Structure 1
Amino acid sequence: MQITASTVSLTVDDIAASHRFFTTHLGYVEQAAAEGFASLSRDDAAVDIVLLARGNEVLPAGQRDQHASGLILAFTSTGIEAEEQRLRTEGVEITMPLRDEPWGERLFQVTDPNGVIVQFVEWVTPSAPEHT
Structure 2
Amino acid sequence: MKVTASAVSLTVEDPAAAATFLVDHFGFTEEMAADGFSSLTRPDVGMNVVFVRVGMPTMPPDQRDVHARGQILAFVVEDLEGELARLTAEGVAITMPLTDEEWGERAFQVRDPNGIVVQLVDWQGGA
- Same fold? TM cut 0.5: yes
TM-score, normalising length from structure 2?
A: 0.94
Equivalent residue runs for 1:26-105 within 5 Å:
26-105=26-105
Note the C-alpha offset of 1:63.
Answer: 0.8
Tell whether the 8 Å contact from 2:106 to 2:125 is kept in structure 1 after alignment: no
The whole-number CA distance in structure 2 between the counterparts of 1:121 and 1:20 is 21
The whole-number CA distance in structure 1 between the counterparts of 2:45 and 2:17 is 23
Q: Match for residue 106 of structure 1?
A: 106
Tell whether the 8 Å contact from 1:77 to 1:120 is kept in structure 2 after alignment: yes
Q: Which runs of 5+ in 2 are unaligned?
A: none
User: 1:108-130: CA deviations, max 9, x gaps?
Assistant: 00100000001111002527xxx
Which structure has the greater CA radius of gyration? 1
The whole-number CA distance in structure 2 between the counterparts of 1:125 and 1:100 is 7
Q: Which runs of 5+ in 1 are unaligned?
A: 128-132
Q: Percent identity?
A: 52
User: 1:4-50: CA deviations, max 9, x gaps?
Assistant: 22201111101121111010001110111111111110111253111
The size of the alignment, in residue pairs, is 127
TM-score, normalising length from structure 1?
A: 0.91
TM superposition outliers: structure 1 runs of 4+ over 6 Å: none
User: 1:47-74: CA deviations, max 9, x gaps?
Assistant: 3111101000121101111001111111
The whole-number CA distance in structure 2 between the counterparts of 1:81 and 1:3 is 34
Worse-matched range after superposition: 5-14 or 118-127: 118-127
Q: Match for residue 4 of structure 1?
A: 4
The whole-number CA distance in structure 2 between the counterparts of 1:47 and 1:67 is 21
